[in-house]
Chains A and B, each alone.
Chain A
Amino acid sequence: MKTLDDLRKMREQVRKELDMRSGNKRARVTVCMGTCGIAAGARETMQAFLRELEGAGLGDIAVTAAGCAGFCEKEPMVEVEVKDEKPVRYCHVDAAAVARIVQEHLVGGKVVDDLVFA
C-alpha cells in the first residue's frame, strides 16, 4: 500500500465480494429447493443464477433457497422479489430461463411474462 489510490483499489475489489453479505439488497431471488425441486434441477438453477449474476456484475441481489412450495410439477420454481415491487413467481426455470430472468427482469426491470407461473 503505497498511496491512497492503492487503498481505494483494494476497497473496491473487496467490496464487490462483501456486497453479497449485506442484508441490504435491491432484489432477492429465491430458488425453491424441496426434494422434488432438487430432483427437477433446482441445484443447477441456483448455480446458474450465481453465474449469471456475477457475469452481469449484479452484487446487490440476494440468492436464497426456500423449501417446498407444493407445486411439484412446476419445478424448478423461482421467486424474484425486487424491492418495493410485488414478488413474481417463475416456473420450469432452467439455465436458459435463468439467463433471461437475469437480463430482462433484474437488469432490464421487465417481468419475463412467458415464464411466469400462472
Chain B
Amino acid sequence: MAKPRAYVMVSVDADTVVIGAREVKTRLAAEIGTCGLGEEIRVLETGSFGPSDAGIVAAVMPEGLVYGNLTPERIPQLVEEHFVKGRPVSAWLLAGEHILPDPETTDSRGQQYFGRIVLDNCGRIDPDSIEEYIANDGYFALGKALTEMTPEAVVEEVKDSGLRGRGGAGFPTGLKWSFCASEKADMKYVICNADEGEPGTFKDRLIMEGDPHKVIEGMALCGYALGATQGYVYIRGEYKLSIERIRNAIEAARENGLLGKDIMGSGFDFDIAVKIGAGAYVCGEETALIESMEGKRGLPRVKPPFPAKAGFRGKPTNVNNVETLANIPFIIRNGAAQFHGIGDPGTPGTKVYTVLGHINRAGLIEVPTSVTLRDVLEDYAGGMRSGSFKMAQLGGTAGDLLDASMLDVPLNYDSLAKNGHSLGSGAILFMNETIKVCDFLHACMKFFAHESCGNCNPCRNGMAALLELTARLKKGEGYPGDIALMEELVMGMQSIAFCPLGQSPAAPVLSAVRYFRDELHAGINVDAVRPRPEHTMRHLMKLAS
C-alpha cells in the first residue's frame, strides 16, 4: 500500500467532541472510502489547532488548509470538491495564519517565528499515538537525561533555563525542584496540577488533549531529577477527554518501556497514575489538592511545612502545573541556553493563553514572553470583533483588569510587576465598551463567593460582603464610601485569609478601582444613606470572635 498523499486531521477536543467532531471524522473517512480515496487520504484525530469559536475544525495536510464549522452534512460536498476534484471549498476555509504556524515563517510583525515549545505538536500529531510523539523527538529528553545526565544536572539545567511556574505564581521551577531533590526520604511524589479551575482558562486541557505525552515526559524527567518514583496527574473530573488521553498515554508509555521499572536500562523506576478531582476551585491550590488526593476535604494546609518537605502522605512532593511540565522536555533536549534565549530574560520561554471575549479569533495561542497585550490582540486575536478595546482581564477571574494604558506592557512577570500587575493563569479576556466594570466585578465576585470553601471567616464573610456591595454598584444603588470599603475588604482579606483564594479578589477589585474609579463612582447613589453598619474588616473579625 502506498503511503497516503494527504491527511485530514480533525481536531477532537472536549469542546468539539460534544458538537459531533467524532461523527464528522467518521463521515469523512466513510465518504473518502466511498470515493475510492481511502488509500490516498487518511483521516486522523488530533488536538486543538487554536480556534475555539470555529466549530468542528479540520486541517488538510500537507496543504495546510484549515476548514471550520464542519458538519456531517457538509462532508459529501467537501470530499467531492476538495479531494476528488481538487478544489478547496473556500467558503468553509478558516482565515488566520496563527492556526497552524509554519515553523519557518515569520509572524505578522516580521519577526522570525521561533516555533512553539509547548504546543508544537498540538493539531499536528495524533495524541493517541506514541509513535508520532516519538517521531517528533518525543522521549528523547528523557533518553538523554537517563543516559547522559545525573539527576543533579537535570535540576541545574532547569534552574539555568530560568523557567518559572505557569500555574499562576511564577515561582522558579528549578529552585522548587532543588528543595524537593535535597530531601532524604524513602518515597517522593511528583504531582501534575491539572485542576485548572480558573474560569476562562483552559490551556492545560488543550495541552493534555493535544499532546499528552509531553506532560508524561515532563513528569518522568521531574521524577528522575527529584528521586521520585511515583507521579500523579490530578485532573478535574469534567475534563473527560484529557483523562482519556492522559490515561492512553500512560498506558502506551508503559507498553514501550518508557514508564515502569528500569526505564531504558537506567535503573530508574517511575510510574504515573491519574487522580480525578471533583472540580472545586480551591483544590487547584497545591496543598488543598494534596488533601483532596488523600481523600480528605479540599482544605488548604498551613504552610510551612511546604509540600517539598511534607506533601502527599507526608512525603516530599513536588507540584507543578501542566504547562510548566510540558516545557521540560524542550529544555532538557535543547539545553537551558536555547530556552533562555526565547522571550523576556526574566520570564524566559513562551506562555500559552486562551484568548476570549470580543475578538475575531478566540482560542489557544502560544507566544514568547516578550509580546505585549496589543500584540496578542492585533496579531493573534485578529483585533476586536466589535466596538473598541475597553479593558482586558489578564489571567482568569483572579486576574488584574487592565485598561488601554497597559496595552504596550510586555506580558511577563517582571514587566507586569513594574506596573503593579501579575501574569496570572493563562486566560486573556478582551472586552469592549459594552461591558460595564460594575457588572464585570459582580460576576467575578459571584464566582469567588461560590468557590470560597467556608473554612475561614475573612473569606467566607468577605466574599458575601463583596457580592452584596458589587450588586449595589451594579444597580446604581451604592452607598457613598462603598469604593473605599471594597478596597478595605479585599486588602484585609489579602492579609488575613487563610489561603490564596481569599486573597484573590484583591487583584480584580484593586485594578478596577485603579483604572475605572469614575465608572465605579457612577454606581453610587450620593443621596443614599447606609442603613446599618457595614461588613468592615473589623466588623468581620468581631463576627468571628
Contact = CB atoms under 8 A, between A and B. Distances in A.
A7 B100 contact: no
B135 A23 contact: no
B6 A64 contact: yes
A47 B85 contact: no
Interface stretch (A10-18, A89-97, A108-116): A10-18
B420 interface: no
Interface string A18-50: 101111110000111111000000010011011
A11 B137 contact: yes
Contacts of A33: 84-86
B132 A18 contact: yes
Given A14-B132, A21-B7, A25-B62, A4 B2 contact: no
Contact of B131 (A2, A14, A23, A30): A14
B102 A1 contact: no
B80 to A, nearest CB: 11
Interface residues of A, number: 37
A82 interface: no
Nearest to B82: A65
B84 A24 contact: no
B140 to A, nearest CB: 7
Nearest to A23: B64
A67 B257 contact: no
Contact of A50 (B5, B36, B131): B5
Contact of A4 (B3, B124, B143): B143
A23 B100 contact: yes
Nearest to A48: B2
Contacts of B265: 2-3
Interface string B76-114: 000000011111000000000000101110000000000
Contact of A67 (B87, B124, B137): B87
B26 interface: no
A6 to B, nearest CB: 8
A93 to B, nearest CB: 15
Interface string B1-25: 0111111010000000000000000
A99 interface: no
Nearest to A28: B62
A94 to B, nearest CB: 17
B34 interface: no
Contacts of A66: 86-87
A22 B62 contact: yes
A62 B4 contact: no
Looking at A20, A23, A51, A66, which has the most chain B CB atoms within 10 Å of its CB? A23
A3 B5 contact: no
The B interface is mostly helix, strand or loop, or mixed, namely loop
Given A18-B132, A23-B62, A62-B63, A3 B86 contact: no
Looking at B3, B102, B124, B264, which has the most chain A CB atoms within 10 Å of its CB? B3
B106 to A, nearest CB: 15
Contacts of A32: 86
Contacts of A104: none
B102 A23 contact: yes
A88 interface: no
A20 B86 CA distance: 18
Given A2-B265, A51-B2, A64-B5, A10 B86 contact: no
Given A1-B264, A23-B62, A50-B40, A65 B83 contact: yes
B334 interface: no
Contact of B85 (A4, A30, A34, A63): A34
Given A1-B258, A1-B264, A24-B104, A7 B139 contact: yes
Given A2-B265, A10-B134, A23-B102, A54 B62 contact: no
Interface in A49-93: 49-51, 54, 62-68
B9 to A, nearest CB: 8
Contacts of B131: 10, 14
Contacts of A7: 134, 139-140, 143, 264
Given A23-B102, A34-B85, A46 B5 contact: yes
B143 A20 contact: no
A11 B5 contact: no
Given A7-B139, A65-B83, A20 B102 contact: no
A107 to B, nearest CB: 17
A34 B84 CA distance: 8
Contacts of B63: 23, 62, 64
B147 interface: yes
A14 B265 CA distance: 23
Contact of B134 (A2, A14, A17, A68): A14
Interface in B152-191: none
Contacts of B143: 4, 7
A22 B61 CA distance: 7
B256 interface: yes
Contacts of A20: 3-7, 61-62
Interface string B256-293: 11100000110000000000000000000000000000
Contacts of A68: 85
Contacts of B86: 30-34, 64-67
A1 to B, nearest CB: 4
B2 to A, nearest CB: 4
Interface in B365-403: none
Looking at B5, B36, B256, B258, which has the most chain A CB atoms within 10 Å of its CB? B5
16 contacts: A1-B256, A4-B147, A11-B135, A14-B134, A14-B135, A17-B135, A20-B62, A22-B62, A25-B62, A35-B85, A50-B3, A62-B5, A62-B63, A64-B62, A65-B84, A65-B85
Interface of A: 1-4, 7, 10-11, 14-15, 17-18, 20-25, 30-35, 43, 46-47, 49-51, 54, 62-68
Q: Give the 6 A-B residue pairs with the shortest CB-CB distance, closest first.
A: A65-B86, A14-B135, A23-B64, A50-B2, A67-B87, A1-B257
